[in-house]
Structure 1
Amino acid sequence: MKINFAPATIFFKLVQIFTLRFSHLHIFKSSNLQIFKSLNLQIFKSSNLQIFKSSNLQIFKSSNLQIFKSSNLQIFKSSNLQIFKSSNLQIFKSSNLQIFKSSNLQILKSSHLQIFKSSNLHIFISSYLQIIKSSNLQIFKSSNLQIFKSSNLQIFKSSNLQIFKSSNLQIFKSSNLQIFKSSNLQIFKSSNLQIFKSSNLQVFKLSLTPAGLC
């Protein structure tokens, strides 16, 4: 499956998304939130896919940025949406990619809500996973997977898709919710919400076989 991305268009869309201004939502403002700073956190460090590597943050600028083009990384291609089922797609398996391991970044650490704890980790493996299949929000519905390519896919702009815009939807605005605002970045540190509480915090360290997740 060959997908042609216009780097300038993608970059423009990303700028639009990340420049949404909220009076109380200072995301990634904390001095301690140095995510993706580790020398070992080389995500998708292909010679052609150097994301977040440039000192100037030149995202999706390379003319060689062919995302999801590999024959082994056929995400969202199956008619049943079998995400992360390929035997070659071992994401987050590297011993050096210990994301969210910092003692200050205790994300969703609850004892009662142990999501993704199943030994089989069947994530999104349903045969009919119709993600956000609203008549007004037909994202990823095209058979050609034309992400951010259609002139009509105005994300965060459509009058029908007013995400984070409604006066009644004040997400992350509560004075008690202060997400990404704490100096220690203690996100959702509820005593009852321990998601991803693996002893080694090896998120998505799947044992994959050619037949799929097992």
Structure 2
Amino acid sequence: MAVGSGESWQQREERRRQVAREARLMAREPAGWLPRLVLLVATVAWLAMLAWLVQTLPERVPTHWSGGGTPDGWSSRPVAVAVVVLLPLVLFFPMIWISRLVMVWPDGVNAPHKEWWLDRPRRLVRFERLLREDLMLIVAVSVLLVVGIGLIMGYAAHQPGGAVPAWWFAVLIVGYLVLLTLLVVWMYVSARYRPDDDDPELA
């Protein structure tokens, strides 16, 4: 069955594989300064929070709370620290490497105007950089969520009964979801992924 351009889907897939092979041989474009700065700030905040927890947490730490802010789950200090260490290391920071997926499986990544970006090796290299920058911002926001959780946990550990104001969690989660939603909406509605045939490198 032929597609709109006159090529079959098999020909299209082979052409995209060839584009990806050529793109993998090209140098990666460096990420912009703003995503790198935001990720650096989030990482420094996370490391500072870890240092504070290691120095100040008691042996028994509240790690889960009821809807009213009363703790209903407790852990040892090593377990509590391990949670805020492993969440970013295992779950969030590796997300940045997803951008490399476009070089191996271009169809597996969705973005506005994807057909245009997958059509040329240089475009695919630029596409990978744009996606990497967006993932840096998403990871930074997610790491800051862990920072907020760690700060609440560290504060609660020194309060009578380990209780904290219940609204803290609502503010933290809602703030995270709002920032994450704004980032995704910005990715899709801004001119960031708009085809640019005026750029001589991409035309």
- Scaled by the length of structure 1, what TM-score is found? 0.21
Structure whose residues are more often strand by fraction: 2
Of structures 1 and 2, the larger Rg is shown by 2
Structure whose residues are more often helix by fraction: 2
- Scaled by the length of structure 2, what TM-score is found? 0.22
